[in-house]
A = this chain, B = another copy of it.
Amino acid sequence: MNTFGNIFRFTDFGESHGAAIGGVIDGCPAGLTIDFLAIQHDLDRRAGRDSQFSVSERAKHEADKVEFLSGIYDGITLGTPIAFIIWNTDAKPEDYEAISDIYRPGHADFTYQAKYGIRDPRGGGRASARETAARVVAGSIAKQILSKKGIGINAIVTQVGNETEPENFPTLLSDIKQKGDSIGGIVSCTVSGLPIGIGEPVFDKLHARLAYAIMSINACKGFEYGSGFDGIDKCGSQLNSYSGGALGGISDGTDFCFRCVFKPTPSISQEQHLPDGSQLTIHGRHDVCVALRAPVIVEAMTALTLVDLICLNDR
């Protein structure tokens, strides 16, 4: 359940304010020289340390430094499981004591408690977006594997609220931030250089596996590829020439293009009314728009999916 993939497999663990988060990559080919700087670069992209709209108080103080425990010898993969951890050095459980018995609106506090009968109340525990840092490490290695095959993945934010002009994003974000509110966004991703034949009929279609991967990212509410929902007013005679990158679920040699939407972060500074009539104010700084930090996670999940499907196709 916490393992992603069939042949190139990534197992992910860790609570937001536990000792550490991390993962195990199994099925990584032997002989790959790991680019550790590229991994750190991706972790930094996710942390969004440069942005006034996405940096959290924690990210400011805690650099995500990954430590590899196995599977790599002299910088080269052994073909054995690659385990890694990121210590939660800035864990501040006391910040969450005040709200440990409150189910925050739009968060998973309630459903975890109901499902397991117990939960780690510190910062969302396992449901925290901090978990995605481990995905980024694994995804960064997957991107290195793909890069050697000439496959590129590029994800960017193409919409914030109703705004589609990137130069206008800051204005809108400042406005939302000032109100103590949050806003959604859309990330667009293009995969180039994918060989023909990737994807498996009938359940493991390329786009079905990608939809699963992307929708598993926190706050993601929708996925579409090719003509997507916007193609609804087009006829067959107009769309037959645009596949979006796959036919019958199998890559066709054109760029694979998809979009996904992220809801506004539910943690907002505004006072919120709870179902029981009480009121809640969540302190600390929070992301104005989680979509801003999503591209590197979208790339990671895309890369993990593609490496696994390529392994399956090449068997």
Contact = CB atoms under 8 A, between A and B. Distances in A.
Contacts of A181: 235-237
Contacts of A148: none
A110 B52 CA distance: 48
Contacts of A209: 212
A281 to B, nearest CB: 12
B13 A161 contact: no
Contacts of A183: 235-236
B184 A234 contact: yes
Contact of A225 (B81, B221, B314): B221
Interface stretch (A42-50, A56-64, A139-147, A240-248): A240-248
Contacts of A110: 247, 252
A127 B203 CA distance: 11
Given A111-B196, A215-B205, A224-B221, A270 B237 contact: yes
A19 B315 contact: no
A307 B1 CA distance: 15
Q: Size class of A's contact patch?
A: 35 or more
A125 B264 contact: no
Contacts of A2: 24, 26, 80-81, 200-203
26 contacts: A2-B201, A3-B3, A12-B81, A24-B24, A30-B118, A31-B116, A78-B118, A106-B239, A108-B247, A108-B250, A110-B247, A111-B247, A111-B248, A111-B250, A115-B313, A183-B236, A207-B215, A209-B212, A212-B212, A221-B224, A221-B226, A221-B227, A224-B261, A236-B264, A236-B266, A314-B314
Interface of A: 1-4, 6-7, 9, 11-15, 18-22, 24, 26-27, 30-31, 67-71, 73, 76, 78-83, 85, 105-108, 110-112, 114-120, 125-127, 131, 159, 161-162, 176, 179, 181-186, 196-197, 200-205, 207-209, 211-216, 218, 221-229, 231-237, 239-241, 243-244, 246-252, 261, 263-268, 270, 272, 311-315
